[in-house]
Amino acid sequence: MKKGMIIAIDGPAGVGKSTVCKLLAKHLGYAYLDTGAMYRAMAWSAIAENLNLDDESEIARRLELLPLRFTIENGALSIFYKEKRLDDELRQPEISVRASHISQLKCVRDYLTRCQRQLGERGGIVAEGRDMTTVVFPDAPVRVYLTADLKARTERRFLEYRNKGIAADRAGLEAQIKARDEADEQRALAPLRATPGVRVVDTSHMNISEVVTQLMVLIPLETAEKDASIRG
Ligand code: DC
């Protein structure tokens, strides 16, 4: 991966951040940092280690000792629990709920913020999550808030689950996304929101490539041209 700037992107569940950010990163030759996966991994490994997710002091005590490792490999975040690479297991609906829960704990947010900044030190990353533009990388030269209405997001998540063979129904998913929106937007720490100075892009009626094109427009021309030419 080459050097470059940090592109910070936030937005609610199901807005299509992962797909868009992966493509954007590939286009620029940057690494893709999925910080939601880090919260999911934290929830997954806390369960694997039999931690009580309701006991913040226990989690705070054992957090840094969890056998969890975050690294950037081949242009994307890799997460290991011991020797096991965590991937599809993090996408289970139960982990979504647990991750939302654990993401409200200060000790977890502080720890993952440190890990994310460390991963971003080298530059050249597209970092997506809920607090990339507000807390983790507030000085990033490109900060974007992606949004879409609830119906569009439910449909996107439904198709994603169906493609992965995960059973889901639309009404249940909509309720789950709505509940997560509320939890993400109303939590005391690092709530999800578009702060002044952040570019808001409503993707409700856009397809993936339209969103990527729109984001490329926001990236300083000099960098985009330089990066594209380095890529050859
Ligand atoms: O983007 P996601 O659905 O994979 O995120 C999983 C959970 O983690 C979600 O409930 C919000 C939380 N999260 C967060 O609080 N801060 C981030 N930077 C990324 C995700």
Domains, the chain, ordered by start: 6-205 (3.40.50.300)
Per-residue pLDDT, 221: 62
Q: Is it the case that residue 222 has pLDDT exceeding 70?
A: no
pLDDT bucket at 224, cuts 50 / 70 / 90: low
Number of other residues whose CB lies within 10 A of the CB of residue 85: 11
Q: Which residues contact 212 (CB under 8 A, 6 or more apart)?
A: 20, 23, 24, 27
Residue pair 13/183 in contact (Cβ under 8 Å)? The answer is no
Per-residue pLDDT, 97: 87
Q: Is 157 in the pocket of ligand 1 (CB under 6 A)?
A: no
Per-residue pLDDT, 164: 85
User: Mutate which of 39, 100, 110, 146 to test ligand 1's pocket (most atoms within 8 Å of Cβ)?
Assistant: 39
- In the reported structure, the alpha carbon of residue 224 is separated from the centroid of ligand 1 by a whole-number distance in angstroms of 28
| b/e burial code for range 49-74 (CB count within 10 A of at least 16 → b) | eebeeeeeeebeeebeebebebebee
Q: Is it the case that residue 194 has pLDDT exceeding 60?
A: yes
Query: What span, in angstroms and rounded, lies between the C-alpha atoms of 216 and 210?
Result: 10
| Residue whose CA lies nearest to ligand 1 atom number 11 | 100
* pLDDT (tens digit per residue) in 14-51: 898 999 999 999 999 999 999 999 999 999 999 999 99
Q: Is 99 in the pocket of ligand 1 (CB under 6 A)?
A: yes
Query: What span, in angstroms and rounded, lies between the C-alpha atoms of 70 and 229?
Result: 30
β-bridge mates for residue 81, sequence order: 68, 84
Per-residue pLDDT, 225: 53
Q: Is 201 in the pocket of ligand 1 (CB under 6 A)?
A: no
Query: What span, in angstroms and rounded, lies between the C-alpha atoms of 27 and 200?
Result: 21
Per-residue pLDDT, 93: 82
- In the reported structure, the alpha carbon of residue 181 is separated from the centroid of ligand 1 by a whole-number distance in angstroms of 10
Query: What span, in angstroms and rounded, lies between the C-alpha atoms of 31 and 33?
Result: 6
- Sequence-ordered alpha helix ranges (H) in the chain: 17-28, 35-48, 56-62, 93-102, 106-120, 150-164, 170-186, 208-218, 221-231
Q: Is 129 in the pocket of ligand 1 (CB under 6 A)?
A: yes
Kindly give the number of the ligand 1 atom that is closest to the alpha carbon of 100. Answer: 10
Per-residue pLDDT, 166: 85
Mean of pLDDT over the chain: 91
Per-residue pLDDT, 230: 46
Q: Is it the case that residue 134 has pLDDT exceeding 50?
A: yes
The two structure tokens encoding residue 49:
């280690």
Number of other residues whose CB lies within 10 A of the CB of residue 135: 17
pLDDT bucket at 79, cuts 50 / 70 / 90: very high
Q: At what angle do helices 170-186 and 93-102 cross, to 10 degrees?
A: 10
Per-residue pLDDT, 223: 62
Q: Which residues contact 84 (CB under 8 A, 6 or more apart)?
A: none
Q: Is it the case that residue 228 has pLDDT exceeding 70?
A: no
- In the reported structure, the alpha carbon of residue 176 is separated from the centroid of ligand 1 by a whole-number distance in angstroms of 14
Tokens 């689950």 belong to residue: 161
- In the reported structure, the alpha carbon of residue 104 is separated from the centroid of ligand 1 by a whole-number distance in angstroms of 10
Kindly give the number of the ligand 1 atom that is closest to the alpha carbon of 112. Answer: 18
Phi then psi for residue 194, to 5 deg, are: -90, 110
Ramachandran assignment for 167, one of left (phi > 0), alpha (psi -120 to 50 degrees), beta (any other): beta
pLDDT bucket at 232, cuts 50 / 70 / 90: very low
Per-residue pLDDT, 148: 96
Query: What span, in angstroms and rounded, lies between the C-alpha atoms of 152 and 203?
Result: 9
